């Protein structure tokens, strides 16, 4: 039985038990796509993706949350235009996530949720380890502090930073906010912690999924209102449609994006994310694709492959692929492309037997689960 088939069967079995756990999670508005925040827009320049506009809101701890649920740092750091990184190229040393809860109360509220998310990631990636420290409210560099602050949303840092205090918040129901971050949302946030980015912000999104700005909820703040007949595609006044940049394409590529676009990824937005009631902000390009309307419960095969690529030094599958020479990296004609096996039929030394060898090697890699 191939590794791919084994993974698929395992995921199907685990999905049933995960559905039971998810059903026990309190219902309410989804804090992964909050529409109750005072969203602002800022132009930032970071050393991963260069200059771009981001939608952001701040937590009670003055942390700036961009792209819906990504902790960038403090608001002061966000607005200072200093170089920052998503750390997508900074995996946790030894594939070991070191974490703690800020208080015993937080541990009592969300430990079962976090443990479920950990099990989901370790199911097919047992080389990932999670080391728990004693509860401590003080932020620590290189350590993930888990909180459950009221109305704080579901959010986390991306990847590891030795000189950064890393955080993940899993909001639970309170008198002020009913929405809850359950196992599905925690699995998504742990994906960020491991180094994964949002799938729907990939440069190739529009080949599979279309974004509909006209269906975005304006979520106006500061007394602003939408003019009659306008939508978030054009004509929105300041203070409205702040969440639009959560759907922006991120042009920089990293190991998080090295596989086929995956609508079933735990890192993909649901179809009605930040949408007006009864509408969809994301729809499939054709009928062969179905977008989820609930946050996926389990990482799928491409999710595990991406994490394996990030932690290839610890991932047995990655080591097996490297031993087979996969992916096949020969570049016969670098002037005509920067990807693996780049050949141009009209240039000397390109195509022909070299192209045939490339196809043969890539097929061998796919057969061995080394896509």
273 and 343 fall within a common domain: no
Residue 21 pLDDT greater than 50, yes or no? no
- Please indicate whether residue 119 or residue 62 has the higher confidence score (pLDDT): 119
Residue 17 pLDDT greater than 50, yes or no? no
At residue 202, the 3 state secondary structure works out as coil
Q: How much is the mean pLDDT over the chain?
A: 83
Spatial distance between the Cα atoms of 275 and 202, rounded to a whole number of angstroms:
20
At residue 124, the 3 state secondary structure works out as coil
pLDDT per residue over 357-366, tens digit each?
777 777 888 7
195 and 139 fall within a common domain: yes
pLDDT above 70 covers a percentage of the chain that reads 79
pLDDT per residue over 217-269, tens digit each?
999 988 899 999 899 998 899 999 999 999 999 876 555 566 789 999 999 99
257 and 350 fall within a common domain: no
Residue 349 pLDDT greater than 50, yes or no? yes
pLDDT of 50 reads 74
- Taking alpha carbons only, the member of 303, 290, 293 closest to residue 273 is 293
Residue 78 pLDDT greater than 60, yes or no? yes
Residue 5 pLDDT greater than 80, yes or no? no
Examine residue 229 and state whether it is found in any structural domain, yes or no.
no
Examine residue 120 and state whether it is found in any structural domain, yes or no.
yes
219 and 346 fall within a common domain: no
Spatial distance between the Cα atoms of 171 and 18, rounded to a whole number of angstroms:
20
Examine residue 23 and state whether it is found in any structural domain, yes or no.
yes
Domain count, the chain: 2
Confidence of residue 27 (pLDDT cuts 50, 70, 90): very low
* 3-class DSSP string for 312-323: CCCCHHHHHHHH
Q: Which domain holds residue 363?
A: 326-371
pLDDT of 258 reads 63
pLDDT of 19 reads 41
pLDDT per residue over 182-224, tens digit each?
999 999 999 999 999 999 999 999 999 999 999 999 999 888 9
365 and 244 fall within a common domain: no
173 and 271 fall within a common domain: yes
271 and 334 fall within a common domain: no
Spatial distance between the Cα atoms of 259 and 271, rounded to a whole number of angstroms:
21
Residue 335 pLDDT greater than 90, yes or no? no
pLDDT of 330 reads 60
Half-sphere exposure (CA, 13 Å, Cβ side) for 124?
A: 24
Residue 22 pLDDT greater than 50, yes or no? no
**What dihedral angle (degrees, nearest 10) is formed by the CA atoms of 124, 129, 135, 140?**
-120
Q: What pTM was computed for the model? A: 0.83
pLDDT per residue over 277-297, tens digit each?
999 999 999 999 999 999 999
337 and 254 fall within a common domain: no
pLDDT of 323 reads 85
Residue 166 pLDDT greater than 80, yes or no? yes
Query: Looking at 323, 342, 358, which one is the last position of a domain?
Result: 323
Examine residue 368 and state whether it is found in any structural domain, yes or no.
yes
Residue 367 pLDDT greater than 90, yes or no? no
Confidence of residue 178 (pLDDT cuts 50, 70, 90): confident
pLDDT of 184 reads 97
Cβ burial of 2 (10 Å; 0-12, 13-18, 19+) is exposed
Q: Which region among 21-30, 73-82, 237-246, 316-325 has the lowest average model confidence (pLDDT)? A: 21-30
pLDDT of 337 reads 44
Average pLDDT over residues 146-161: 94
């Amino acid at each position: 039985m191939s590794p791919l088939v084994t993974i698929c069967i395992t995921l199907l079995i685990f999905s049933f038990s995960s559905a039971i756990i998810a059903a026990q999670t309190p219902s309410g508005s989804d804090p992964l796509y909050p529409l109750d925040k005072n969203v602002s827009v800022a132009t930032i320049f970071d050393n991963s993706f260069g200059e771009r506009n981001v939608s952001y809101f701040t937590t009670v701890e003055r942390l700036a949350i961009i792209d819906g649920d990504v902790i960038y740092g403090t608001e002061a750091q966000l607005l200072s235009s200093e170089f920052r990184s998503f750390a997508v190229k900074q995996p946790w040393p030894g594939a070991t996530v070191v974490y703690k809860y800020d208080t015993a109360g937080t541990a009592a509220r969300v430990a079962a949720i976090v443990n479920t998310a950990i099990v989901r990631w370790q199911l097919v990636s047992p080389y990932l380890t999670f080391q728990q420290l004693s509860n401590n409210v003080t932020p620590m560099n290189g350590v993930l502090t888990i909180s459950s602050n009221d109305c704080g949303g579901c959010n986390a840092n991306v990847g590891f930073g030795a000189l950064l205090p890393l955080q993940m918040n899993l909001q639970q129901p309170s008198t002020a906010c009913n929405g809850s971050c359950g196992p599905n949302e925690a699995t998504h946030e742990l994906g960020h912690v491991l180094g994964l980015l949002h799938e729907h912000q990939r440069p190739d999104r529009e080949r599979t999924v279309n974004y509909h700005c006209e269906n975005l909820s304006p979520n106006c703040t500061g007394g602003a209102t939408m003019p009659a007949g306008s939508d978030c595609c054009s004509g929105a006044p300041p203070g409205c449609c702040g969440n639009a940049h959560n759907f922006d394409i991120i042009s920089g590529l990293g190991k998080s994006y090295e596989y086929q676009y995956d609508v079933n990824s735990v890192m993909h937005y649901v179809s009605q994310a930040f949408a007006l009631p009864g509408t969809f902000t994301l729809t499939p390009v054709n009928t062969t694709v179905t977008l989820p309307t609930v946050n996926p419960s389990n990482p799928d095969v491409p999710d595990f492959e991406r994490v394996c690529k990030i932690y290839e030094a610890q991932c047995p599958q990655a080591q097996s692929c490297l031993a087979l020479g996969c992916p096949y990296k020969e570049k016969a004609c670098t002037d005509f492309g920067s990807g693996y096996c780049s050949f141009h039929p009209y240039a000397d030394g390109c195509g022909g037997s070299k192209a045939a060898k490339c196809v043969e090697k890539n097929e061998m890699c796919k057969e061995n689960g080394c896509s």
